[in-house]
Amino acid sequence: MQRRQFLAVSLASATAAWASQGWAAAGAPKYLTAAAKPGNSTWLVGLTEDAKIAFEIQIPSRGHAAAAHPERAEAVAFARRPGRFAVVLDCVTGQEIVRLDSPEGRHFYGHGAFTADGKLLLTTENAYDIPDGRLGVWDATDGYKRIGELPSGGIGPHEMIRMDDGGFAVANGGMQTHPDYERAVLNIPTMQPNLTYLDAEGAIIDQVEPPADMRLNSIRHIAADASGRVVIALQWQGNPLQEVPLMASHRRGEALQFFDHPETRALKQYAGSIALSADGSQIAVTGPKGGHVIFFDGTTGAPLNGQALPEASGVARFGERFIVTVKGGVLEGGADGGHVVLVDGDYSWDNHLVAI
Amino acid sequence: MLHSLACVLGFAALSVATLNSEATAQTAPNVDAPGVPLETHSAETGLPYFPPGSGTISHEAITRRVLEVFEGQFGAFRDRSAKLHDVAVAHCAGTADEAALEAAFVDTWMAWAPLDSYQFGPIEQQGAALTVNFWPDKKNFVGRALLDLTKQSPEAQADGAVVATLSAGAQGLPALEMLIYDDAVPACPAVQGVSANLARLADDIYQGWFAENGWADLARAAGPDNPVYLAPSEFTKVVYTALDFGLIRVADVRLGRPLGTFERPFPTRAEAWRSGLTAQIILAQLEGIEEVVMSGFAGDLGDNTRSWMRTVFDQTEDRVAAIDAPINEAVADPMQRIRVEGLQSKVLYLQNQMAQDVGPNLGVETGFSAADGD
């Protein structure tokens, strides 16, 4: 889709917003996460601020991340790659509103974001036979009809987030995959990740790539503060014996900055999720493979400390600190300590916790 | 004592399944009565009487045995690729005929077939899935890349280092197949360069696994400080998952692609349709998976499970043999098509039986894990 059309659709659909209840009616969920229960049933779970279950909705197979509509109490749960479904849920009634199927030759990567006005949903997708990264465009004012797609700016777009200015940041991880090969990475010798910025109309306005020695450090998960600084959780695809930083940050117009941490090693070359605290003083990075979380100074990027946390998966801001999904519950806290709150339901959390 | 005996029997079990011959009685040195061979295996089933570790699971032992199987399989691909290059050079010099070249090519592809299941470690690190076997090739990337190659000087075409700089389509088995089997494309001198590069790729993959500090050492060193495998069971799980993937590859991709629908089969979507090797590749991949189950997991699976899995593998492999035409022809022939569909069902059944019997018995089911990452 052309940029002009994208904008036009965005305006045209302004009159078509459908009536729906707001988030306050949905048992006040503050966080969304995909999860599984023993026996491998798969769920989308809404958690309240005090880590109670606001709602739990079964989904067809394993989810990954979710996107919350900015106003309506609607959430879109995305299939884990190489899944082809996304489920739009009414978080008040627990009903499925509509199910999205990725078009022929595309599959979802598990993340997406709404435009600031809530009219369009963008989804990161793999055009695997080309191969190329795409952003699917779905009209949230018209039953989430697919209305086009945009280039993501690289191979393997994974997490995308909306920035405070209404634009978007897209983590093009660089990893080429194909459903015929399930989850195997096919292009490690040539992979080239980047961080791509789009304006509110979906046009690419800036890109940054890691230097040659960090080329194999996949840019996969991101968070941003109000000033537009993006922090990045990295996944090292090179020789596993090589020790590399797994956190980076970026501000447009500058080079990527990489930040090491004495406990990086405990993440097993894999940073899962990343979040900034609301006051900007701390950065939290989870390592689900290593069962560990590490904290950085939010301003300088200097390492603070870390903590072994079994199955540390999703992380989101929680007041001035963080909420981290862990085995059996959530951790509320940060570098200066915290406590685990148990959550009922015998859930195993999937990789991400999305703040609403 | 118990441990060392288990080791002796473990190797005995390995040898019988590696040979994959008809079941015969196997013997091992008898420490209690020197000179009197200890019969370790049933002549009827080929299974050991006292399977090592039966009833208990030693993931260290599984790792050791799986790596031996892998060393054999990856070593065969390296050796046969090297031989193919020798034959290609001889062929272009006029000292080896086309039949010899074809035979060396078939041997090489059959040695690659089992490795297709192992898309982790060195194959993934080196991007070998596409450089060795660029497929499916919907847009004729192989043909186009070969056209680029054949425009170069004869010396350049015969140079593996030149081929290594070309796109993946020109580098692997499908490129060699086109050179050797497509009469419109001359084999010489390009077949020398492509096979030289393939031999280099095959050696790189082997070294990636088995050189010092390679992936095999990483697997052997599984433990809390290991950057990849936090426990030996994690390597077992990766291998088990790879076998599961291999069976899905056979059913959904190798068979599913050419099958299409009854109304619309896709003969030229069959892998290696030019050389007619589709079914042979499938058989070789199934046998590779069977070897890992029987000789790698071996006695750490219960006797009943192994005996049952052997039966299902045999049934599946028989169904490959029952198809009386190349797969690309069979899918478009109503009578033969039924047999291809039957094979596909059987492979999925085999995958299901693996998931029910093998995974749970090894404690490595493929279900949800928060540590999977994405």
pLDDT in tens, A87-105: 998 888 778 899 999 999 9
Closest by Cβ to B127, choosing from A187, A240, A241: A187
Taking CB atoms and an 8 Å cutoff, what residues of chain B touch A180?
136, 249, 252-253
Calculate mean pLDDT across residues B266-273: 96
What's at B136, amino acid-wise?
P
pLDDT recorded at residue B36: 57
Give A-chain residues touching B218 at CB under 8 angstroms. 240-241
* CB–CB contact A288 B371 (8 Å): yes
Write down the pLDDT at residue B301: 87
Domains present along chain A, CATH in parentheses:
1-155 (2.130.10.10), 210-356 (2.120.10.30)
Per-residue confidence (pLDDT) for residue A81, from 0 to 100? 87
CA angle, B150 as apex, B148 and B152 as ends, to 5°?
Answer: 80
Tell me the per-residue pLDDT of B296-340, one tens digit each, with 9 for 90 and over.
998 888 888 888 999 999 999 999 999 989 999 999 999 999 999
Confirm or reject contact between A263 and chain B (CB < 8 A). no
pTM of this structure: 0.87
CB contact under 8 A, B374 and A351: yes
Which residues in chain A are closer than 8 Å to B372, comparing Cβ atoms? 288
Interatomic CA distance for residues A12 and A226, integer angstroms: 29
A88 close to A146: Cβ distance less than 8 angstroms: no
Q: What is the pLDDT of residues A26-80, one digit of tens each?
A: 667 889 999 999 888 999 899 988 889 988 888 888 999 999 999 998 989 999 9
Return the pLDDT at B54: 52
DSSP string, B2-70: HHHHHHHHHHHHHHHHHHT-S----EE--SSSTTSPEE-B-TTT--BSS-TTTTS--HHHHHHHHHHHH
**In Å, how far are B73, B255, B329 from B261, measured between CA atoms?**
35, 12, 14
Residue B370 CA to residue B374 CA, distance in Å, equals 10
B-interface mutation test, from A64, A104, A185, A264, most B Cβ less than 10 A away: A185
Which residues of B are less than 8 Å from A349 in CB distance?
Answer: 370
User: What's the gap in Å between the CA of A168 and the closest CA on chain B?
Assistant: 21
The reply to whether A177 touches chain B by the CB within 8 Å rule is: no
Interface test with A, best of B238, B368, B369, B372 (most A CBs within 10 A): B368
| pLDDT, tens digit, 9 for 90 and up, residues B199-226 | 999 999 999 999 999 999 999 999 998 9
pLDDT confidence of A199, banded at 50, 70, 90? very high
Query: Parallel, antiparallel, or unpaired for β A194-198 and A168-172?
Result: antiparallel
Residue of A14 and B31 predicted with greater confidence: B31
Q: What is the pLDDT of residue B31?
A: 57
Q: Which tens digit of pLDDT belongs to each residue from A208-239?
A: 999 999 999 999 999 999 999 999 999 999 99
Residue B253 has its nearest CB partner, among A180, A187, A289, at A180
3-state secondary structure of A90: strand
Closest CA to A306 of A315, A297, A294: A294
Q: Tell me: pLDDT of B17 over 50.
A: no
**Distance, CA of A141 to CA of B95 (rounded, Å):** 72
Inter-chain touch B127–A189, beta carbons under 8 Å: yes
Q: Which range, of A1-5, A83-87, B17-21, averages the lowest pLDDT?
A: B17-21
> In the predicted model, what is the mean pLDDT of chain B?
88
Task: Give the pLDDT score at B24.
Answer: 47
Per-residue pLDDT averaged across A319-332, rounded?
A: 94
Q: How far is CA A260 from CA A245, A295, A308, B225, in A?
A: 5, 11, 17, 18
pLDDT (mean) for A196-212: 97
Q: Which residues of chain A does B129 touch, with a Cβ-Cβ cutoff of 8 Å? A: 181, 184, 186
- Residue for token digits 């994959």? B20
Nearest-Cα distance to chain B for A267, in Å, is: 8
Which among A181, A189, A288 has the least Cβ separation from residue B370? A288
Both tokens of residue B220?
A: 């052997």
pLDDT per residue as tens digits for the range B52-91: 445 578 999 999 999 999 999 999 999 999 999 999 999 9
Q: How confident is the model at residue B10 (pLDDT cuts 50, 70, 90)?
A: very low
Peptide bond before B186: cis, by omega within 30 degrees of 0? no
The nearest CA of chain B is from the CA of A15 a distance in Å of 38
